[in-house]
Structure 1
Amino acid sequence: MTPVLLGGLHAASFTPSTTAVGGSVYLTAAVGLLPLVTFFLLMGVFKVATHWCSLISLGLAAVLAVVAFGMPVGMTVMSATQGAAMGFVPIIYIIIAAVWLYNLTEVSGRSADLRAVFNAIGKGDMRAQALIVAFSFCGLMEGLAGFGAPVAIAAAMVATLGVAKLRAAAVVMVGNAINVGFGAMAIPVTTAGKLGGQEPVTVASFMGHLTWVLCAVIPLVLLFILDGLRGVRQLWPLAVVAGLATGAGHFLTPTLSYELTAVLASLLGLAASYAFLLVWTPTTPQEHRSHVDKADAPDRERVILALLPYVLVVVIIAITKLWKIGVDLSQALRATDISVPWPGVHGSLLGPDGEASASAIYTLQILSNPGTWILVTAVIVTLVYSARSVPGAFEMTVRQGFTTLATTCHTLRLAILTIASVMALAYVMNFSGQTTAIGAALAATGAAYAFLSPVLGWVGTAVAGSATSAGALFANLQATAAQGAGLDPRILLAANTIGGGLGKIVSPQNLAIASTAVEAPGSDAEILRKVAPYSLGLLLALCTLVFIASQGWLDAYLPA
């Protein structure tokens, strides 16, 4: 490391400003938006490879951080390295483990039996099967794990069912969005509530009274993605059942245990869908009918082995999150986390109150990381599949299983570069004040802010790839803006968190995860063009709903 850079690492303290450019919050926000706009233009319009989009946008954000926002060079560089570290653990770690778990079913030949299982559940209709996996199973995984694991696993499963790769990625990304705010045991809700000065359970209750409406609509949207208006026309009863059952879970669960909202709501939707398909059979066009050779129909053991990776990963993660008998296992695992005050940033990056920013502390998660338990699941599956290997049909050795891990890492190399650089971009934008300036500009819109408040969460997650980060960035801003505009901060904090989930649909990290999971690396731009209209449409619906609620027209319907 050069002496110049070393000197920069120990530069004077820096406090991000929302009026750094020309003393204007709006001009500062416009400049702060440039890296994000550049990223999506390069990817969506000019079709530049995603890893180059992220690297170019990172370079632009770094230049703006130094030149326009006054951030020291060394701090800018080290902010990027903290973001990259966050990209590797937990995000890339989870993705590698999840994709390896899926690849084991392919290498062992068990994926064909998995298709047979879902064929039976979904009455031979691939669209029904994809709906259940993308909405209910993915929501269950989101509630337990989060951090990209649900999209990686569910997208691979939907592709295995026979759905076209890019369509599989799109339907899972949109289906996952409504549960993101309650993801990973509702960490985004807890973050938003605590930083916004409200009880998390109260924020969660307000969320549930809003999200059930979107839950009722999203399954219909998923059918449209899968098969257009024909899919909606032929399968709408199943979509209504799944949506309303899940919506009921969102509405009722927060007051019981807000941490389990996504888990219980998704299980309710899954059970309702399964029960409904026992008594109702959809009309299925030939091209959407999944075929299973009756002569090779799996027996009980083959069904168990086909479902093993996905059932086991849910059980193991559920145990790590929910076990309380004798020991709070989740708390015990979190106690092993290692806090790393990030060099060059910690102690020098200050908040508006002049205190050192807690964001400059990187938490290295190993035992509390869902990736570790997905990895453990994959090892167990490798051993079981090897022990139950059938020559010529389901043949796999332990060596093949671990060779698949190495192959998976090699296949993901560009996705790894993309995610690490995108996270570096997010941290530079966040620490320099670029993202906060965007939020401050929206908050300064006066009476219109009630309508625009979900956009903050949407932007925060689109940049950072995390609804938790969006809450950390904007929760206090939402609460302050609510006080100034005479609005209920609980509604705006709920709006920020739900909006974050909708923003995750278009976040670069999520695009990279989904394209990699369906074995279509480099297709991020195509997936973005498919999912962006749904993300924006759902955001508009949420903005309208929040505006109506903020005017007091739903007071009798919202929590007290």
Structure 2
Amino acid sequence: MYTFLALAPILVVLVLLVVMRLPAKISMGVAYLVTALLALFVWQASGAQVAAATANGIIVALTLLFIVFAAILLLNTLKEGGAIVAIRKGFMDISPDRRIQVIIVAWLFCSMVEGSSGFGTPSAIGAPLLLALGFPAMASVMAVLIIQSTPVSFGAVGTPVLLGVWTGINDKQDITQAIAPLSAENYLLQITGNIGLIHALVGFLIPLILSAFLTRFFGARRSFMEGLKVWPFAIFAGLSFTIPYFLVAKYLGPEFPSLVGGFIGLMIVVPAAKRGFLMPKDIFDFAPRAKWDKDWLGSLPEEKYDDTVAPKFSLMRAFSPYIIIIALLIITRTIAPLKAFLTGNLTTLEFSNLFGTTISSKVQLAYSPGSILIVTSLLCILLFKMNGKAVKRSWSSSAKTMVDAAPALLFSVPMVQVFINSGSAAEVANALPAMPILLAESAAGAFQNAWPLVSPWIGAMGAFIAGSNTVSNMMFSYFQWSTASQIGLDGNLAGQVVALQAVGGAAGNMISVHNVVAACAVVGLMDKEGYVIRKTLLAMTYYVIQTGLIGMGIIFGDMWWWILAVIWPITFFGILALSDKKNASKSISNG
């Protein structure tokens, strides 16, 4: 009964948001009430605990809205300054094919952004960029969410591993004994290599999924096959990222796999695309905007571009704001004294022990990606010699979009925080663990020796709830290790299960509600969050199932699991192709 009740908030979200497609501000409002009532009256959490979790959620939501405002401000500044014209032309010169553009921008560029910053920054930068290139708002959001999988485990210079996994395995006596004489630090490096390998084996097909989903959901023919036709280029782009990514993870550690993989991938793929290497003969483009489904469109005003008109700026000058952003992100995240100042007491607003509980919250606006985006937007005024009226328009329009996005985030993030902090007070008889922990324990009891097949789903559930691979790893890494140990796996193989947790947690970012809400907000796509999740859920399902199959093959060494790991992607893409025929038959019968 408790397992079902703990699952209730997730079911409410899925039914209202994904099945019924209600706006997030309504769905998450109901989910918040359900979660709070369960925490208070079933889990017997104190009123102060629920209030503190809610307050913490509101604080986190406000920091996310700061990033949303800054991301839209950068887009509006580039538009008002005239730089978008040059950026559009630059990408059209690489290839006018939208399948190629989405692979370069979302898969490679946004993966590099993820490696340097994480925490939703790829959506804040990539989705508006795709929108400016002429993609529908919903396609832009879908693309940047699907790539928030492979690079996420090493996002923000390795934070999900260095903080998330490390919190789970450090200073645990049973782990220390099981891995002796290996140190916890070396054990973490071993787990890092495992994470990199699994992601590489699963993630190299993400560019192909990106292309197929783009043509199926946003093409005039509604065809997966139209996207699958670029498979040589898509797999080439996938391997161009995942091979250096894996090598850096295995031999250098968790800080730079995504950053280096994205950079090397861009250096390989962009010149190859310009030369037509492995490029499809046909060119895919969207239908005229007048024929687009109204659900694809955001609230941002339509921009019309004449690609025959020469841009005012060179491509390098127009794209320089993105180079500045990457440089500032790397500098502020890797130079220790600067990072210490930006995250120190002078620049941190801290709320300790909210309402007398152990829940605390802090705001580090100086370290936020939003601050970097705003600084870059201010520099753009000088770079593009903007006048006062253009600057005023960009700021006022950005503020309006942020306000429109606020209700959904102000419900979704508090709901998440109450869910995570729902554990019974210690003095309560028959105290219950917090809802996500209880769900994980129930799954462990049900699946036993098939646990490696299930463990990525636990990681994905954690990220879906928390909106963070780091938080998912903090919650579940030790639990995953303990469960693996209980089914008889030694320290080395238990570390493989922790790696499966981290990979599943990365994949869960594709459907995390507050990630989806924030990504929709930066392109003005309000009240369509459920439509997006219905699409990204398919991609996440591929990722998590494939991760589990590979995990079973690595841990138990049974060839059948490796055969299934080969069959599953073929089956997945086969189902996509067959659905084209079903869709075509339906169109004929209707028509």
What interval of TM-score do these two structures reach, taking the shorter chain for normalisation?
0.7 to 0.9
Change over 3 Å in CA distance of 1:286–1:180 after alignment to 2:
closer
Residues 212 and 224 of structure 2 are in contact (CA less than 8 Å); yes or no, is this contact kept in structure 1? yes
Q: What's the CA shift string for 1:413-463, capped at 9, x where partnerless?
A: 242221222111111011111111111112223112121111111001101
CA separation in 1, counterparts of 2:378 and 2:484? 49
Give the residue type in structure 2 aligned to 1:147. F
Task: Tell me, yes or no, if structure 1 residue 38 matches structure 2 residue 6.
Answer: no
Change over 3 Å in CA distance of 1:45–1:232 after alignment to 2:
closer
Give the residue type in structure 1 aligned to 2:528. S
Task: Tell me, yes or no, if structure 1 residue 81 matches structure 2 residue 55.
Answer: yes
Give the residue type in structure 1 aligned to 2:202. L
Matched residue, 1:201: 189
Offset of 1:160 from its aligned partner? 1.7
Change over 3 Å in CA distance of 1:48–1:292 after alignment to 2:
closer
User: Aligned to 2:138, which of 156, 163, 166?
Assistant: 166
Offset of 1:402 from its aligned partner? 4.2
User: Aligned to 2:536, which of 514, 528, 531?
Assistant: 531
CA separation in 1, counterparts of 2:388 and 2:477? 48
Change over 3 Å in CA distance of 1:92–1:493 after alignment to 2:
farther
> Is the deviation greater in 226-235 or in 444-453?
226-235
User: Aligned to 2:21, which of 47, 50, 73?
Assistant: 47
Offset of 1:288 from its aligned partner? 5.3
Change over 3 Å in CA distance of 1:366–1:517 after alignment to 2:
closer
Task: Tell me, yes or no, if structure 1 residue 60 matches structure 2 residue 72.
Answer: no
Offset of 1:70 from its aligned partner? 0.7
Offset of 1:182 from its aligned partner? 1.1
1:479-518 residue pairs with structure 2 within 5 A?
479-487=481-489, 488-518=493-523
Offset of 1:467 from its aligned partner? 0.7
1:439-458 residue pairs with structure 2 within 5 A?
439-445=440-446, 446-458=448-460
Residues 82 and 342 of structure 1 are in contact (CA less than 8 Å); yes or no, is this contact kept in structure 2? no
Give the secondary structure class of the aligned counterpart of 2:148: helix
Offset of 1:539 from its aligned partner? 1.2
User: Aligned to 2:44, which of 64, 70, 83?
Assistant: 70
Give the residue type in structure 2 aligned to 1:40. L
Matched residue, 2:428: none
Matched residue, 1:19: none
Quote the RMSD (CA, aligned, Å): 2.3
Give the residue type in structure 2 aligned to 1:309. P
CA separation in 1, counterparts of 2:141 and 2:308? 32
Q: What's the CA shift string for 1:180-228, capped at 9, x where partnerless?
A: 1111111111121332234332221110111111221111111101224
Offset of 1:295 from its aligned partner? 5.2
Q: Sequence identity of aligned pairs in percent? A: 22
TM-score w.r.t. the length of structure 1 is: 0.85
Q: Can you give the 5+ residue segments of structure 1 that lack an aligned partner in the other structure?
A: 1-26, 348-359, 388-395
Offset of 1:480 from its aligned partner? 1.3
CA separation in 1, counterparts of 2:505 and 2:527? 25
Change over 3 Å in CA distance of 1:406–1:203 after alignment to 2:
farther
Matched residue, 2:269: 273
1:82-101 residue pairs with structure 2 within 5 A?
82-89=56-63, 91-101=64-74
Offset of 1:57 from its aligned partner? 0.5
CA separation in 2, counterparts of 1:484 and 1:260? 33
Q: How many aligned positions are there? A: 502
CA separation in 2, counterparts of 1:410 and 1:287? 31
Offset of 1:29 from its aligned partner? 2.4
Matched residue, 1:253: 248
Change over 3 Å in CA distance of 1:286–1:147 after alignment to 2:
closer
Matched residue, 1:297: 310
Residues 79 and 345 of structure 1 are in contact (CA less than 8 Å); yes or no, is this contact kept in structure 2? no
CA separation in 1, counterparts of 2:326 and 2:19? 39
Residues 456 and 499 of structure 1 are in contact (CA less than 8 Å); yes or no, is this contact kept in structure 2? yes
Matched residue, 2:574: none
Change over 3 Å in CA distance of 1:479–1:407 after alignment to 2:
same
Task: Tell me, yes or no, if structure 1 residue 240 matches structure 2 residue 232.
Answer: no
Residues 126 and 162 of structure 1 are in contact (CA less than 8 Å); yes or no, is this contact kept in structure 2? no
Matched residue, 1:18: none
Task: Tell me, yes or no, if structure 1 residue 329 matches structure 2 residue 342.
Answer: no
Offset of 1:159 from its aligned partner? 1.9
Q: Can you give the 5+ residue segments of structure 2 that lack an aligned partner in the other structure?
A: 171-183, 216-222, 289-303, 423-433, 563-591
CA separation in 1, counterparts of 2:341 and 2:402? 32
Residues 51 and 414 of structure 1 are in contact (CA less than 8 Å); yes or no, is this contact kept in structure 2? no
CA separation in 2, counterparts of 1:407 and 1:159? 16
